[in-house]
Amino acid sequence: MPITRKFRETVWARAQDDTRFREAMLTEAINELLAGDLEAGKAMLRDYVNATITFEVLAKKTGLPGKSLQRMLGPSGNPTAESLFGVIKALQASEHIRLAVKSTRHAARLGS
């Protein structure tokens, strides 16, 4: 189901006023990428950029063309690791946060 204009406006409005919401949006996008779901991670990063700094500002921060960034995070985009990590670095700097990977162990399966 496509996202409605009202939903996008609601997310944008909340992102403008709620630092924790923005941090959660960015964190969840990165978690999806780390879990191997590139499509979901890119979509969430795209939503985050649209709700926060815009692709125009991201282009200035990364030195990459805005249209390239939009294509990279689009459904058929295939970003290089260098480009993707450059975007993540710029988004962290913009949000004044530093994300880190934390190791966790899953509970052992019964019968294993």
Q: Which tokens hold the place of 86? A: 């450059």
49 to 88, 103, 108: CA distances (angstroms): 11, 27, 38
The yes-or-no verdict on residue 110 having pLDDT over 80 is no
The yes-or-no verdict on residue 22 having pLDDT over 80 is yes
CB 25 within 8 A of CB 53: no
Which residues, 6 or more positions from 58, have their beta carbon under 8 angstroms from its beta carbon? 49, 64, 66, 69, 87, 90, 91, 94
The yes-or-no verdict on residue 14 having pLDDT over 80 is yes
Model pTM score: 0.85
